[in-house]
Amino acid sequence: VYSPIHLFWARLISSILLPYYSILNLFRTSYTLDTLDVKIILVTEYHRIGDVIMIAPALQSIKARFPDAHLVLLCNEPTAPLANHLNLADEVIPVTVPWTHWDWSLSKWIEIRSFAQKLGIRGIDLAFDFKGDIRNSWFVWNVGAKISMGYSATGGSFFFTHPQTMDQGIHQS
């Protein structure tokens, strides 16, 4: 659960970014899950090991729903060996994103944006983010998946093709 002060600042930033990204989204092609032949699925969870363990059932459900798709999990570097050992995805990519280490240097943000865009070259069909953090949402938007789903708890619903709401009153474990 995000603190009220974190929610305030994230939502303020979201409202500032909304007009810009709304215009950019006009130029993106729309897809529907019913007609899309899903070949590559990306799931992002690069915070801590417990977060990856918590989404393990979701990863299993995604693999069951799309058995022929290549499932890619982006996680932090210390978590990658466990994710590989548990066979949570077809491919596990370790990555360090600046916001998980409170690194606000512009060069790190430019690097991670470039990484997201390079990942997008692979032709990601479907992307999921379970965190609900606007920075994660921004990363997923930069990947350019045909369909993206994620929580917009801290704002940034415009970063997803299918944003989901999260009840901040319910305890998260």
10 Å CB burial of residue 87 (0-12, 13-18, 19+) is exposed
**CA 94, CA 82: separation in Å to the nearest integer?**
11
pLDDT digits (tens, 9 = 90+) for 68-107: 999 999 999 999 999 999 999 999 999 999 998 888 899 9
pLDDT digits (tens, 9 = 90+) for 15-61: 999 999 999 999 999 999 999 999 999 999 988 899 999 999 999 99
Which neighbouring-strand residues pair with 41? Answer: 71, 126
Q: What is the pLDDT of residue 167?
A: 74
Q: How many CA atoms lie within 13 A of 49 on its CB side?
A: 9
Contact 5, 154 (CB under 8 A): no
* Residue 140 in tokens: 């997923």
Domains of the chain in sequence order: 4-29+36-164 (3.40.50.2000)
- Residue tagged 């983010």 (tokens): 129
**CA 92, CA 94: separation in Å to the nearest integer?**
6
Question: Which phi and psi (to 5°) does residue 71 adopt?
Answer: -95, 120
